[in-house]
Amino acid sequence: MDILNKVRKYREDEDRLKWEGTFAEYIRLVKERPEIAQTAHSRVYNMIRTAGVEEIEGQKSYNFFNREMYGLETALERLVEEYFHPAARRLDVRKRILLLMGPVSGGKSTIVTMLKRGLEQFSRTDEGAVYAIKGCPMHEDPLHLIPHHLRDEFYEEYGIRIEGSLSPLNTMRLEQEYGGRIEDVLVERIFFSEDRRVGIGTFTPSDPKSQDIADLTGSIDFSTIAEYGSESDPRAYRFDGELNKANRGMMEFQEMLKLDEKFLWHLLSLTQEGNFKAGRFALISADELIVAHTNETEYRSFIANKKNEALHSRIIVIPIPYNLKVSEEERIYQKMIRESDMAHVHIAPHALRAAAIFSVLTRLEVPKKQGIDLLKKMRLYDGENVEGFNDVDVAELKKEFPNEGMHGIDPRYIINRISSAIIRKEVPSINALDVLRSLKEGLDQHPSISQEDREKYINYIAVARREYDEIAKNEVQKAFVYSYEESAKHLMNNYLDNVEAFCNKNKLRDQLTGEEMNPDEKLMRSIEEQIGVSENAKKAFREEILIRLSAYARKGQRFDYNSHERLREAIQKKLFADLKDIVKITTSSKTPDESQLKKINEVVATLVDEYGYNTTSANELLRYVGSLLNR
């Protein structure tokens, strides 16, 4: 089997990556590659940066997150630039717990999981290689072996700061196994693994009455007391708590704010001083990223408790709101469907977009800015062009409500309702109407939606339905246009000829009769009116087109159907308007004649071949659009 060969190759690759040597050999490695001595926070930041960073219109986009996270560029940029980057530079934020705060199903757990899996992979690369004292249950940094009084000189020579003290167990081992000769201490390369509890820990609170602090910090192995004689002998202690095992990597606290106080106090010294107390030993050094996640309600309750004030200042809160871009919301649903057993079901084009429009509307705040409604705001957020508004307006809209996106419908609800639609319909195909109907029915069963929100959400479903109606009509009308691009090109060239004659005050020559004619004002206005160009604005619009045409000609480029977005939209709408009656008659006829039937079959074939429908959803679309046009 091919999979067995791949497993064998992976095992061989991992064997090749293994390294073991003395501390003296490790120091030579550090001299050649100082990055192997980086801190846990620095390792996470370099892992993200190494995957690649793009900047689009002033917004940073991190390739590390792009394959899983959609529409959260602003939140992720803040996470990287306000926490990981300064923490990697040893600034004070590295002494803070990272708390991701946001609504349910907003992506917090996904971010943490990506960091974990990323570290596992990164530790297998040259840039992310991690080395530890061999045999240490805490995978301790070998540089802790260097005595404190020599660390300033080490920094001057190597440019590497050493923080933390040698653990009790390794202090004893250094004396007993190596006779105090740090140069002989064995060092090995380690690979992070959550499953093997190497460099990645996860802690989940349970019943506070039964949960033991040993789950975090390790515990005494009473079976060894008789052998070693004392509970303060480090050999009699199991350094197997989550804080021990997460050393050098990251520690996830699930539902951290629900933890009992005695667990939270351990985080105080760990975050601020980089150490924690375990057993009857001196403070144990640990270098690890501590990340937790919670929702807004729990966080507000936590900070309202005066007992937690000491932890407040040791937490960096990064809000992770819902995505507010319709196109990115579609991608979230596509990803969730791919990961489910629904992947074989045909979901008609725009069905997920209709659901995305609804869910994004529930998350948006009604804008205060004059002349803009919720729909325009939704389009602007998604990068669409809205006449009369620009990027400055988008920035102002975002400033109006800094916490926008912290409330609304979550993606899991949408997927649950899509699942319900599939099961109820019992066919391998669903469309936008099936999805919207299921969303509406599900609102009555949603326990956390108030009556006021329910009425508002039903209105948003109606808005999404109207948006889909326009999409559906355009889709069918476009499919009805025979040789659509050729028709559009012919109409556009005709328009451009007339515009050029109008602006230059020339006449046109009829190709058949050869006689001179005035520019066809009726044709030009019939196209310009499609996009709302008024009588007063027509001259400026035509001059703009002519300037664009001249600019293309100077550069030796061809001005085509897609060269001017507003003109393309006008051409489309003009073609559709001319075809509306044909579409209406053909789609609504109960007993179509032979020519109508032929046209319907051609349109169905176009919808299937060019637009991603199957035969069932294409026929459903035609029937629906026929009913819309006959209203």
Q: What is the DSSP letter of 223?
A: G
Say what the pLDDT of residue 195 is: 92
Say what the pLDDT of residue 471 is: 93
Of 23, 19, 282, 29, which Cα lies nearest the Cα of 174?
23
Provide φ and ψ at 155, rounded to 5°. -65, -40
Q: How far apart are CA 309 and CA 431, in angstroms?
A: 52
Q: How far apart are CA 616 and CA 426, in angstroms?
A: 13
Q: Dump pLDDT digits (tens) for 606-619.
A: 899 989 999 989 98
599 or 437, which is more confident? 437
Q: Dump pLDDT digits (tens) for 418-469.
A: 888 887 766 678 999 999 999 999 888 777 788 888 999 999 999 999 999 9
**3-state secondary structure at position 64:** helix
Percent of the chain with pLDDT over 90: 45
Highest mean pLDDT among 109-123, 531-545, 569-583, 590-604: 109-123
Q: Which pair of structure tokens corresponds to residue 8?
A: 């064998």
Q: How far apart are CA 13 and CA 504, in angstroms?
A: 71
Q: Dump pLDDT digits (tens) for 370-413.
A: 888 999 999 999 988 887 888 888 888 889 998 899 999 999 89
Q: How far apart are CA 414 and CA 336, in angstroms?
A: 10
142 or 340, which is more confident? 142
pLDDT of 67 > 60? The answer is: yes
The answer to whether the Cα torsion of 261, 262, 267, 272 is positive or negative is: positive
- Where does 196-295 have alpha helices with state H? 214-217, 225-228, 242-245, 261-273
C-alpha distances (whole Å) from 168 to each of 179, 201, 353 are 16, 21, 59
The whole-angstrom distance between residue 258's C-alpha and the CA centroid of its chain comes to 27
For the entire predicted model, the pTM comes to: 0.83
